[in-house]
Amino acid sequence: MTVLSRPHRLTRMCWGLAVFVVAIFATIGAGLRSAPEGDAQFQLADQIAMTLLGVVIGGAALLLTRPRVVADAEGVRVRNVLGFTHFPWAVVAAVRFEDGASWASLELQDDDNVALLAVQSNDGDRAVDAVLGLRRLLHASRA
CATH of the domain spanning 67-142, picked from 2.40.50.100, 3.40.605.10, 2.30.29.30, 3.40.50.1100: 2.30.29.30
Provide the whole-model pTM.
0.79
Q: What is the pLDDT of residues 7-56, one digit of tens each?
A: 999 999 999 999 999 999 999 988 887 656 666 677 888 889 999 999 99
Query: For helices 44-62 and 9-31, what crossing angle results, to 10°?
Result: 170
- What's residue 27's pLDDT? 92
Contact 123, 7 (CB under 8 A): yes
Q: How far apart are CA 29 and CA 46, in angstroms?
A: 7
Q: How far apart are CA 52 and CA 88, in angstroms?
A: 42
Domain boundaries, the chain: 9-64, 67-142
Chain-centre distance of CA 40, in angstroms? 39
Contact 127, 135 (CB under 8 A): no
